[in-house]
Structure 1
Amino acid sequence: MPGTLPEPFATWFAAQGWTPRPHQLAMLDAARAGESVLLIAPTGGGKTLAGFLPSLVDLAANPRPGLHTLYVSPLKALATDIARNLTRPVHEMSLNIGIEARTGDTPANRRARQRATPPQILLTTPESLAVLISLPDAPAFFGSLGCIVMDEVHALAGTKRGDQLALGVSRLRTIAPAARRIGLSATVAHPGPIQAYTGAPSRIEVADGAPPELRMTLPDGRLSWSGHMGLEAAPKVIDQIRRAAMTIVFVNTRAQAELMFQALWKLNDTTLPIALHHGSLEVAQRRKVEAAMAAGSLRAVVATSSLDLGIDWGGVDQVIQVGAPKGVSRLLQRVGRANHRMDEASNAILVPANRFEVLECEAAILGVAAHELDGDPPRPGGLDVLAQHLLGLACSTPFHPDQAYAEVTSAAPYAALSRTDFDDVLRFVEDGGYALRAYDRWKKLFRDSEGRMHVRNARTAAAHRMNIGTIVEAPVLKVRLAAKRGPGASLGEIEEYFVNMLRPGDTFMFAGRLLRFLRIREMAAECAEGGDGDPMVPAYAGGRLPLTTNLADRVRGLMQDPDKWDLFPDQVRDWLRLQRGVSRLPGRTDLLIETFPRGDRWYLVAYCFEGRNAHQTLGMLVTKRMERAGYAPLGFVATDYVLGIWSANPPRNVATLFAEDMLGDDLESWMADSSMLKRTFRNVAVIGGLIQRNLPGAEKNRRQVTVNSDLIYDVLRRHQPDHILLRATRADAATGLTDVGRIAGMLARVKGHIVHMVLSRVSPLAVPVLLDIGRESVRTDDDEEALLAEAEAIIAEATGEAEPPAAGRQVPAVHRANLARRSSGAQKTLVPRRAATRQSDMFS
């Protein structure tokens, strides 16, 4: 009967004290009509149950073997959590429904059993789905499929993992054309494109639930001018943890997670159970933490984005976000982990790490109140992902190009793919393309007399399955505790570049432990517990989250509206007033650029607010122009908020340095000459299958992969500049690392509205970027002492309490970095040696 729950579901709901929500019943009605649907519902609104309820009802009424429902999530932890949560009602209703998860963490024997006897409901990730589709028995395995549930689609659409999932679903639609498609999401800024991504003809949107309760808390004493770790607030954070039943402390990077966990543990005099969770920890440790959270035996967990999607930790009553959230939608997603119920307000505390982050946190709070979701609409699908998918199709069963093209273009990211581009990708997979076809190693497909594509041999298929995936991380080494006999206990993985910085005896923080590095043995970093000296903390490439356009615009608007300054603490209000007195404040539609001397250097600070990636590209382009103009630029630093450049000569006529034409020949020549394109090509080549990280019986090391990709890149540029992977590389560079679109939008917006302030000293707003300059140069304790002293001098100059250094006095580069910690009352022991906690702010 429409709009009702059948037995035994009605009885089970009543036993829980629940009444089915209207959207849950609407999803049930849509399933009865055979419709595919995108459901957009607030966190805690029961959307996951709404997605599964039709499948459970169908299987309860018509039990049958074989795979019925495939659930795909962005996170392994989410798939595991959903499997655990679904098992309870199935058990309590005595339903004979098999529910299992299949991810990269699933043991091989269980994966084999699942293929032989599929559960009715299988929970997986895009990567594991791609593996299953590449297997010869894929048509039989998926032949009985009746429903495909795509969870947290907003986190996938527009990414390469999302491209991979869309292509996988297009294949499933061919194998099981009657299968319904369900998209689930809580935060969608662009519902139309997301609906197109899921391929659902209808959409159900649920009104927002209770608004979250958001507030900020700041450390005692002086508020930091610079830095992004937020460790000064650890005493406030641990105090809030003591007051709540269970807390998730979200941070933005894995290095920050390790540092914050240690800072909290040092203050945890009552030994509250506090855990650590991020993607580089060993699977067993992550599972242990997740199980402890589900059991309610933890008081807090420090986590990165590894826990911020969809997971229902019912006992969490508080979320603390340390560091600026970088986006309204991201903040809402994380806040929704607390009081995971639609009709109860989520309680969240924002802990900014510095003065600019105070502005960003307040802007995010206002954005949440205004229901202003952010994020970019999905972009076209990547050609390298398509290459990987086509090889996977051939590994499963031969296909005809015409049929494959029709199938691929049924996926929204590839709907506009031209037949020429498709044929070029297929030709690359077949034999490497014109420039590489003479080499047997890149011949992976062959055509039969009917034009169908076949995989060349079983070894090619095996190598493909070992290299499936679109996440290209830096090469990693296992971290093991040394043992007298055999390999010691594994704690997780860290990137190879970090291990290369270590000398025997060096200490570093990992997995919540203080470790002493001993040696590298058999692709593992062997360590012992304990050690002396200030520990380093591993950083991870790509760890910093991008600042969204909408949030950046809100920050500029707040700075321009003194009526809103009462929202800020006294120190921030005084900072802005002082800036307005000695210079100007950045406007919403203009571009403020300050230039000033200090010692024998000149500084240019541009308040762009376009995010770190855009500022890095802008810095490379502007310094090239400064070099041609004779200003002798010496370097630059890019933060989410500003671009700072230092030079030997004073820059003049700065408006010409930021003219729109820099995105023409200047951009092309820089991209052609820079190593950034080579690094981007390496990732594209790995995803596209040109470079294989893993081979049957062997594993390539980082140097082999990099050298091979660099050599091939040079060959292709000389002999086939229009090669499909070079085209994919340029597309990635334009939308990823370089963020050309944001730069173009900014340059168009500020054309004719560039305000150049020529100052005699550093302005208050420029202090943070001066404190960032030279951060990478820290090497010894003596250097840190000099840096801390220099910090006091810079702040005193900006506030008018001291004169800047006389002209001609050298300001050591090592003195311009990582300085605000001492001035904000932080302990020196929290400052890692050799600046290992962050990546360089400049392209090499």
Structure 2
Amino acid sequence: MAILPHIFTDWFASKGWSIHPHQQDMLDRADDPALLLIAPTGGGKTLAGFLPTLADLTQNDHAGMHTLYISPLKALAADIKRNLRTPVEEMGIDIRIEDRTGDTSQTQKKRQRADPPHILLTTPESLALLTSYEDAPRMFAGLKRVIVDEIHALAESKRGDQMFLALSRLQALRPDLKRVGLSATVEDPAAIAHLLAKHPDPCDILHADPGPPPDIKMLVTDEPPPWSGSGGKYAIPAVLEEVKKHKTTLIFHNTRAQAELYFHNIWLANEDQLPIGIHHGSLDRQQREKVEQAMVDGHLKAIVCTGTLDLGIDWGDVDLIIQVGAPKNVKRLVQRIGRANHRYNAPSKALLVPANRFEVVECVAALDAVHAGALDGDPRGPGPRDVLCQHILIRACAGPFDAGALFNEISTTGAYTSLSRAEFDACLDFCATGGYALRAYDQWKRLQQRPDGQWQLRDPRSALRIRMNIGTIQDTDTVKVRWKGRGGKPLGEIEEGFAATLTQGDTFLIGGQIVRYDSLREMTVQVTRDAAKKPKIATFLGTKFATSTQLSHRIIEMFQQDSWPALPPHTSDWLTLQREVSRLPEPGRLLIESFPHDNRIHTAVYGFAGRNAMQTLGLLLTKRMEETGLNPLGFLATDYATLIWGLDKITDPAPLFDIDALRNGLDTWLAGNAVMKRTFRASATIAGLIERNLPSNRKTGRQATFSSDILYDTLAKYDPDHLMLQITRQEAMRGLVDFGRIEEMCARIGTRIDLIEHSRVTPLAAPLMLEVGRVPIKGLAEEKLLAEEAERLMTTAGLPPEPKKKEWRVPF
């Protein structure tokens, strides 16, 4: 057993603490090449990761950087710096601890490269930038350890791919480098360990005592949730009562827009003038820092927030978490729950607030999963090649390189261990020439091969431009909507992701008007008037997150119960009536309901494949219906179902779900709309084909889109097998359209499709009907109209009117 220096044991004793078993284990195994620690929030996992570093620096002289700490968030790096400096200063240890993020001054960055601190705290983007400099070997000359905090969050994104590639570069510079991963929520530890290790070296996994289960419940409200919507406004009085009872409450939302709207509404209802702040990634840095400091100082009773506060930041006396809206992902929920009572062996306390009736079911399913310790997560597949292209350019900035040596480096990286030499060479050729169709243009000839076989930048001055565009985070833009024609009047903005799904002739709703999509030009959607009574594609203000596969399966399993004591009466009565008049979705089968309404035939497909997949399914099914002589008029999609309305009944649904036909339809559809162009722009920006940041200024979204559209059209016409088009198709399939979830659904159901015809709206379909053609009228009129429509539809579906107030409790 490794002995902790007396200065540490004395400091622990002065605090009345003792070293935790997993912290001792990390100290004992400091020489392991790679180690993954899974410890509960508040279990001291960050200190466990740093203990070997601190012990070594206390006992031995060390010149230069000893340990590199990588965090997904700038705020987390700053928080760790503050928390780490406290014990170091109290023990009087002479250790320099600094952070380096986008917020660090240029003066400090230059000094850090010349004279690195003992411990540097940074982010994936800043690390990639550091490896791009010619003096990187000198800066990392003394590096012994790398600590990756909240590794699960990085492993799920391209930021993680970029970071692991950067680690392969560090490992080449420092062959004896030790890797440590830290996390509280890992659904597949072996998969994370595979990413963390230098292949084929092993990475062992340490599990700390998980501690007591969280205290998590559904919030009890006098007013039941509405049948549709995603704001959770109905629960604000109950939320304010909970805020009053606790020291500090974090009120999580799934999107920034929802957080802003909720903050506005809760502030209007805040008659007691409780100090409440808001925190999300779109806020100005100074405003975020002001809120963070107020949290640390205990001056805020509540903070309305998003994922910016998901991770391991220890803010003040947070003793309650409220999640507004279904969490969509159990792992994300567990991570957020851990923000409360950030202490070892202290249960976290959280309340869930379902935004609508269907989300009540999802929230209870999520509660079941948390209590069962069942986390969710989908495999990501091989490492993305657009990130690999950027890494090759970053490596070239640092000086000449041998292609074989670089390939061998990259092949040690978990997500890229299956990369073939031919795939690597294709990426290298792209970086050198731009590909076949672009070889004639000097601006994309960025690399050249020297007589000795090594590769280098063709123009050393291009290193500045490459460095300015390092990163994988893409802006989540909105696009403006205008009437077609020069000087067309603006109508507002829609999410770019929604705009990308539109094809010419589609109608949708904006500002209370139904409009027809004509084209997408330079970040502006051009539309014309349409006299239809309902839009072809209806959208709703929901989360961008899709309900995970595992959580969707758990909801369907829940439907198989004889009764639902965990559900409030209004929701269990709803499901009971559905079972009486029709049936509920079953595992391994697909339920489809058909019924007339407003002189149209409506068909509800309960696929439970997540929002993106159900949206794609709606597009493909309506296309298939048109091809077979049926006359669909429009559709909408939620996480759980796709609702299609049209003139004709579907009598035999099986041919519509033929996976080969759906795949062929997807190919045709992708070629005819903006999904591919949007995906191309994101991947081309990461790969370095398109530059968002220039030495003189930053390109606007419009300029980037304009240039990417020209490039896409050029490549599609003259070089359809171009590497960037291959990458684009792969990314589109698993991103915006989520076709993998449709394939999983089709494989799960096979030919087991149940089509049930009804004479009226069914209870399960009734909430979907409220979303059709929903007009965004502002103010109390909207709430009154929606309430009246909900009551009319539910009466039609056979549900009795609800009392105005109805208390309920769940047995958790």
1:672 deviates by 2.6
* CA-atom RMSD in angstroms: 2.6
Query: Which of 186, 209, 223 lines up with 2:225 in the alignment?
Result: 223
1:782 deviates by 7.7
Matched residue, 1:49? 47
Percent sequence identity over aligned pairs: 49
Do the aligned residues in 1 keep the contact of 2:763 with 2:799 (CA within 8 Å)?
Answer: no
Counterparts in 2 of 1:783 and 1:555: CA distance versus 1, 3 Å: closer
C-alpha distance in 2 between matches for 1:372 and 1:725: 38
Matched residue, 1:548? 548
Provide, for residues 581-616 of structure 1, a one-character-per-residue CA deviation record: whole Å limited to 9, x for no partner: 221111122111111111122211111111101111
**What letter corresponds to residue 752 of structure 1 in structure 2?**
T
Secondary structure of the structure 2 residue equivalent to 1:8: helix
Q: How does 1:755-774 map to 2 (within 5 A)?
A: 755-774=754-773
Do the aligned residues in 1 keep the contact of 2:212 with 2:347 (CA within 8 Å)?
Answer: yes
In terms of mean alpha carbon deviation, does 630-639 or 234-243 score higher? Answer: 630-639
C-alpha distance in 2 between matches for 1:676 and 1:214: 39
Matched residue, 1:291? 293
C-alpha distance in 2 between matches for 1:397 and 1:568: 62
Do the aligned residues in 1 keep the contact of 2:230 with 2:541 (CA within 8 Å)?
Answer: no
Do the aligned residues in 1 keep the contact of 2:603 with 2:643 (CA within 8 Å)?
Answer: yes
Query: Which of 388, 391, 410 lines up with 2:390 in the alignment?
Result: 388
Secondary structure of the structure 1 residue equivalent to 2:593: strand
TM-score norm. by structure 1 comes to 0.85
**What letter corresponds to residue 349 of structure 1 in structure 2?**
L
In terms of mean alpha carbon deviation, does 424-433 or 103-112 score higher? Answer: 103-112
Matched residue, 2:306? 304
Do the aligned residues in 2 keep the contact of 1:158 with 1:379 (CA within 8 Å)?
Answer: no
Matched residue, 2:738? 739
Do the aligned residues in 2 keep the contact of 1:329 with 1:374 (CA within 8 Å)?
Answer: yes
1:116 deviates by 2.2
Counterparts in 2 of 1:384 and 1:636: CA distance versus 1, 3 Å: same
Counterparts in 2 of 1:334 and 1:22: CA distance versus 1, 3 Å: same
C-alpha distance in 2 between matches for 1:689 and 1:778: 43
Q: How does 1:524-673 map to 2 (within 5 A)?
A: 544-563=544-563, 565-673=564-672
Matched residue, 1:319? 321
Secondary structure of the structure 2 residue equivalent to 1:184: strand
Do the aligned residues in 2 keep the contact of 1:230 with 1:352 (CA within 8 Å)?
Answer: yes
Matched residue, 1:138? 136
Secondary structure of the structure 2 residue equivalent to 1:684: helix
Secondary structure of the structure 1 residue equivalent to 2:437: coil
C-alpha distance in 2 between matches for 1:542 and 1:580: 27
**What letter corresponds to residue 163 of structure 1 in structure 2?**
D
Secondary structure of the structure 2 residue equivalent to 1:406: helix
Secondary structure of the structure 2 residue equivalent to 1:634: strand
Structure 2: 5+ residue stretches without partners: 480-492, 500-510, 512-538, 807-812
C-alpha distance in 2 between matches for 1:35 and 1:232: 53
Counterparts in 2 of 1:662 and 1:775: CA distance versus 1, 3 Å: farther
Matched residue, 1:513? none
Matched residue, 2:521? none
1:226 deviates by 0.7
Do the aligned residues in 1 keep the contact of 2:223 with 2:804 (CA within 8 Å)?
Answer: no
Q: How does 1:402-801 map to 2 (within 5 A)?
A: 402-475=404-477, 544-563=544-563, 565-775=564-774, 789-799=788-798
- Given the alignment of the two structures, is residue 79 of structure 1 paired with residue 81 of structure 2, yes or no? no
**What letter corresponds to residue 88 of structure 2 in structure 1?**
V
**What letter corresponds to residue 599 of structure 1 in structure 2?**
D
- Given the alignment of the two structures, is residue 106 of structure 1 paired with residue 108 of structure 2, yes or no? no
Size of the alignment, in residue pairs? 751
1:459 deviates by 3.5
Counterparts in 2 of 1:677 and 1:824: CA distance versus 1, 3 Å: farther
Do the aligned residues in 1 keep the contact of 2:578 with 2:764 (CA within 8 Å)?
Answer: yes
1:639 deviates by 0.8
Matched residue, 1:805? none
Do the aligned residues in 1 keep the contact of 2:69 with 2:149 (CA within 8 Å)?
Answer: yes
C-alpha distance in 2 between matches for 1:784 and 1:180: 58
**What letter corresponds to residue 733 of structure 1 in structure 2?**
A
Matched residue, 1:27? 26
Provide, for residues 457-497 of structure 1, a one-character-per-residue CA deviation record: whole Å limited to 9, x for no partner: 243211111111111113589xxxxxxxxxxxxxxxx9998
1:46 deviates by 0.9
1:776 deviates by 6.5
Secondary structure of the structure 1 residue equivalent to 2:295: helix
Provide, for residues 50-101 of structure 1, a one-character-per-residue CA deviation record: whole Å limited to 9, x for no partner: 0011111111112333111111111111111111110100110111111111
Do the aligned residues in 2 keep the contact of 1:327 with 1:551 (CA within 8 Å)?
Answer: yes
TM-score norm. by structure 2 comes to 0.89
Provide, for residues 169-203 of structure 1, a one-character-per-residue CA deviation record: whole Å limited to 9, x for no partner: 00000111121100111111111111011105322
C-alpha distance in 1 between matches for 2:98 and 2:23: 23
In terms of mean alpha carbon deviation, does 81-90 or 763-772 score higher? Answer: 763-772
C-alpha distance in 2 between matches for 1:775 and 1:707: 33
Counterparts in 2 of 1:325 and 1:475: CA distance versus 1, 3 Å: closer
Matched residue, 2:518? none
1:34 deviates by 4.8
C-alpha distance in 2 between matches for 1:553 and 1:5: 47
Provide, for residues 118-143 of structure 1, a one-character-per-residue CA deviation record: whole Å limited to 9, x for no partner: 11111111111111111222111111
**What letter corresponds to residue 769 of structure 1 in structure 2?**
L
C-alpha distance in 2 between matches for 1:588 and 1:319: 33
1:29 deviates by 1.2
Matched residue, 1:356? 358
1:451 deviates by 1.7
Matched residue, 1:161? 159
1:223 deviates by 2.5
C-alpha distance in 1 between matches for 2:780 and 2:43: 52
C-alpha distance in 2 between matches for 1:335 and 1:34: 31
In terms of mean alpha carbon deviation, does 540-549 or 750-759 score higher? Answer: 540-549
C-alpha distance in 1 between matches for 2:721 and 2:601: 42
Secondary structure of the structure 2 residue equivalent to 1:471: coil
1:697 deviates by 0.2
